[in-house]
Structure 1
Amino acid sequence: MRFDWISPIRINLKMLRIIGLWPDGEKYKLELYTLYSMVIVGTSLFLHTLFYTVEVVLLLKSEMEIVIKTLFMALNQSIAFLKCCCFMYNLKRMKRLIQNLENDLFQPQSDKQRKQIKPMIVTWKIGQLSFFAIAYITLLLFLLLPILTKTTNQYRLPFHAWYPWSIKKSPFYEITYLFQSFAFTLRVTCSTTMDTLVAALNTYISAQCTILCDTFRSISPEENIYQNIKRCVLHHKEILRLAKDSNAFYNWIALGQFFTTCITLALTMFLLSLMDPFSSEGQTLLLYLCVVSSETFLYCWFGNEVEIKVRVKMLFCCYLLQK
């Protein structure tokens, strides 16, 4: 029975499909889904990035707290938009990468190898579900903040942003509130889906290194040793190809994420120093701090797992083969 490498990331692919980033082919075509994608990404992400940026410029001479609140949301909205653009640019490579996971060389050769890679997949799933949970709980708290603080009568929105219409009237306030909620939900979905997908790719590379190491150790003189070594060499080349394609896909995403995270962490901690940490807004920011830290942790942890497999296990297997 073949091991299904697509199954663990199927929820990621479905979410990408929902937010307009996963067309049927290797590129966008003249069809309704392309129009849907343009409306979703353009209206919700690009326009909100623009509105936040304009608000930052307009508030430069206002209170520092309000400026920083708007600035760190503008930064996060910008990185989400850039992630989407980067994903669209590398869509063809990503589609082929997913297809290559079905390569026969990537299949475990025994029940022992299946048992070895299972804990890695389980660890990734736990990380994925935990990250999804904390991200969407934080999202919900942000969206409900005007209601929890009872400031809806002051026409307060979940996030400070400039709009080319007055939000001090009904139903413009309610429509803008819903628009912000939709845009921020899309942003969170975009970030969580891509971040956990990158973690999954690193997990798959680690799993393939584990399979290759076990195959090396299982080579015996009684079998066709040259055929087995040839298979291992081909498998190693496919792992390198998988790693190269994965890096090409998320290198710029990771760079932008780390850059934005550093600034966001600093701004968030500064905001926490200006308010009561036990207030509704303070607790929401604390949760947001956890989300941003977890987002960076996903890249570091699963990326480090690849380093461990390559530098320790693979070298150890080569040493055993020489013996």
Structure 2
Amino acid sequence: MNKLQKFDWKATIRPNIAFLHYLGIWPEGEEYYKLNFYTLKTILYIIILVISTIVFQVINIFFTLDDLTSLTANIYVLLTEILYFIKLCFLVKNMPALKLLMKTLDHKLFQPKANQIVIIQPLLNFWKLIFLAFVITCSFTVLFWAIFPILDSSEEEKRLPLLAWYPYDTKISPNYELTYLHQVASYIYICYSHLNIDTFITALNTYIQCQFDILCDNLKNIKSDTKNVDTKLAKCIKHHLLILMFANTSNEFFSWIIFFQFTSSAAITGMTLFQLTVVKPFTTEFYNFMAYVTAEVVQIFMYCWFGNEVQVKSSNIPYAAFGSDWTEFSPNKQKSLLFLITRSQKSVKMSAFNVFDLTTDSFVKCMVLLCPFKSSQ
């Protein structure tokens, strides 16, 4: 790679950012939310597609309190919608910090060398694969959810995808068709907004992983016979500090989001599993719930996997430093290296409001809690 040519970190998440922008969640360039048409569009999206749907569903809950099946069928989607609204609030609140993170990616310390691109590219490609898999999973969920009322009900019944109360008769035309379209549009908007916010968070964790790999490679290749050992060590220390700043800022942004995500996902998955016990197997509605459960599990796994990899990559720094030509360093240089090793002894952990760490162990424990089968012991 030409020294004058910067590595474009944002190229990996460009489709993700484009989705967020079209959904009204990401102002263009380095701008924040201002009094302009884009902000007005975002407000209209939220009022028409999110808040109105939540209000109509909440009202409907009071009419289904004595029906457990209808109540769970209503609440699990309602929780998804409320969770999106919470995510949006945190994203808007932290937009200046997120824009700064995107700008930090262009920092010269974050730039990989030509040989290091080979190291980090598989990580970026893996994120792209997860992003695509999540898009496909959510798309099937939206598809099944949108068509099952049509396939599983008669023309006279005229079921809607969502159980909601409306101040008009939804059984007659064109009220039924317009309400149906509104619910589908609302669900598509919320689902793909969820998807892109979640994958954006995992992209931040992927960037942190890549930076730790770059730092480890730089440490391993510090040779004692070079004249600029002090400069390279100082650069590695500064690079480590910048990575920690990037990781801390990222975690501050999504800490509360993941906390609410895990608590709501546990409730949603439990209620969806309950719905699977009351619907007819292998019907369109059955596949709808199966797709929904799958999407929730993938969502939780995605957070845990990428968070776990940050911890693993950060724990490699002391070993990389030890793998350098440190035995030939002068005492002052060894002290500088020891300073970096000491600072990196505690691995970086991404957490959900410091309640639990994002690790594969957390994912397994979460799945065990949700598993309907108990050990016989």
Instruction: Please indicate the TM-score interval, normalised by the length of the shorter structure.
Output: over 0.9
Q: Specify the alignment match of 2:191 in structure 1.
A: 188
More helix by percentage: 1
Q: Specify the alignment match of 1:14 in structure 2.
A: 18
Within the alignment, does 1:228 sit opposite 2:232 as a pair?
Answer: yes
Distance 1:277 1:106 in 2: 52
Distance 2:40 2:154 in 1: 37
Gaps of 5+ in 1: none
Within the alignment, does 1:74 sit opposite 2:74 as a pair?
Answer: no
Within the alignment, does 1:40 sit opposite 2:45 as a pair?
Answer: yes
Q: Specify the alignment match of 1:295 in structure 2.
A: 299
* Deviation readout 1:161-199 (Å, 9 max, x if unpaired): 122222122111111101001100000111000111111
Change (3 A) 1:67 1:140: same
Letter in 2 for 1:279: T
Distance 1:32 1:2 in 2: 33
Distance 1:26 1:89 in 2: 13
Q: Report if the CA contact (8 A) 2:212-2:317 is conserved.
A: yes
| 2:64 counterpart (59, 68, 73) | 59
| 1:23 counterpart (18, 24, 27) | 27
Within the alignment, does 1:109 sit opposite 2:110 as a pair?
Answer: no
Distance 2:121 2:18 in 1: 23
Q: Report if the CA contact (8 A) 1:167-1:176 is conserved.
A: yes
Structure with more contact order per residue of length (Cα contacts < 8 Å, sep ≥ 6): 1
Distance 1:248 1:225 in 2: 35
| 1:316 counterpart (289, 309, 319) | 319
* Deviation readout 1:246-285 (Å, 9 max, x if unpaired): 1111111111110111001111111111122311111111
Question: Is the deviation greater in 136-145 or in 40-49?
Answer: 40-49
* 1:51 Cα deviation after fit: 1.7
Distance 2:167 2:307 in 1: 43
Q: Specify the alignment match of 1:124 in structure 2.
A: 127
* 1:101 Cα deviation after fit: 0.8
Q: Report if the CA contact (8 A) 1:20-1:41 is conserved.
A: no
Distance 2:151 2:274 in 1: 23
Change (3 A) 1:177 1:108: same
| 2:289 counterpart (285, 293, 299) | 285
Q: Report if the CA contact (8 A) 1:19-1:186 is conserved.
A: yes
Q: Specify the alignment match of 2:268 in structure 1.
A: 264
Distance 1:272 1:14 in 2: 35
* 1:152 Cα deviation after fit: 4.6
Change (3 A) 1:151 1:303: farther
> What root-mean-square deviation, in Å, do the aligned CA atoms of Structure 1 and Structure 2 show?
1.3
Q: Specify the alignment match of 1:167 in structure 2.
A: 170
Letter in 2 for 1:189: Y
* 1:56 Cα deviation after fit: 1.5
Letter in 2 for 1:124: W
Q: Specify the alignment match of 1:254 in structure 2.
A: 258
Question: Is the deviation greater in 95-104 or in 204-213?
Answer: 95-104
The 4+ residue runs of structure 1 with deviation greater than 6 A are: none
Q: Report if the CA contact (8 A) 2:134-2:295 is conserved.
A: yes
Q: Specify the alignment match of 1:204 in structure 2.
A: 207
Distance 2:153 2:171 in 1: 16
3-state DSSP of counterpart to 1:153: coil
Across the two proteins, how many residue pairs are aligned to each other? 320
Q: Report if the CA contact (8 A) 1:2-1:107 is conserved.
A: yes
TM-score, with normalisation over the residues of structure 1? 0.96
Distance 1:28 1:2 in 2: 28
* 1:305 Cα deviation after fit: 0.4
